Amino acid sequence: MTRLIPLAVLIVALGLVGCGGDDDDDTGGDAPTKQAFVQNANQICREAEKDLEQLGEGADSPEQLAKSLDEGVDKITAAADELVDLERPDGADGETATKFVEGFRQELDDKLIPAIEDLKQAVEDKDPQGVQEAAQKLEQLEASESDKYARELGASACVG
């Protein structure tokens, strides 16, 4: 097998965490503004996306790819932790930001990490059909809950 997995499929699937966008810096008061929250969230997402774009590069064996997938899960989890730790705006914007972060975390825990673990297991088992099925599962993942609240915040670049 020339390529252990179709990396483009994996990266697209991991795009659930891919963000980019607004660079407005509007801070003040005790709680951040909606714009400041979005800017900080986008920065976290951009950094995670950059890391994930390199996922699997240079992997010449199933063992190296499995290790790369583990590192990817660690980076995604760290990004989710950073999002959870972000201070949120007051009022309705803060409630929406909380729903966005909680939705992202739940989708990560319930969908993305298990799908990556399935892919990792198939790679370790050297099971081409399992790799294909796991990659398809990753490709089909949707982040509808967190996407909804990202759009509501105006963080459309954070929509998977």
Ranges of residues in the chain with a pLDDT under 70 are 1-29, 143, 156-160
24: nearest Cα among 15, 33, 14:
33
Q: Is the model's pTM score more than 0.75? A: no
State pLDDT tens for residues 6-17. 444 444 344 433
Residue 159 has a pLDDT of: 64
Residue 42 has phi, psi (to 5 degrees) of: -60, -40
State pLDDT tens for residues 56-65. 778 888 888 8
Residue 93 has a pLDDT of: 94
The 10 Å Cβ neighbour count of residue 30 is 6
Angle at 41 between CA 40 and CA 45, to 5 degrees: 120
Residue 98 has a pLDDT of: 94
C-alpha 127 chain-centroid distance: 25
Residue 155 has a pLDDT of: 72
Q: Are 15 and 142 in contact (CB under 8 A)?
A: no
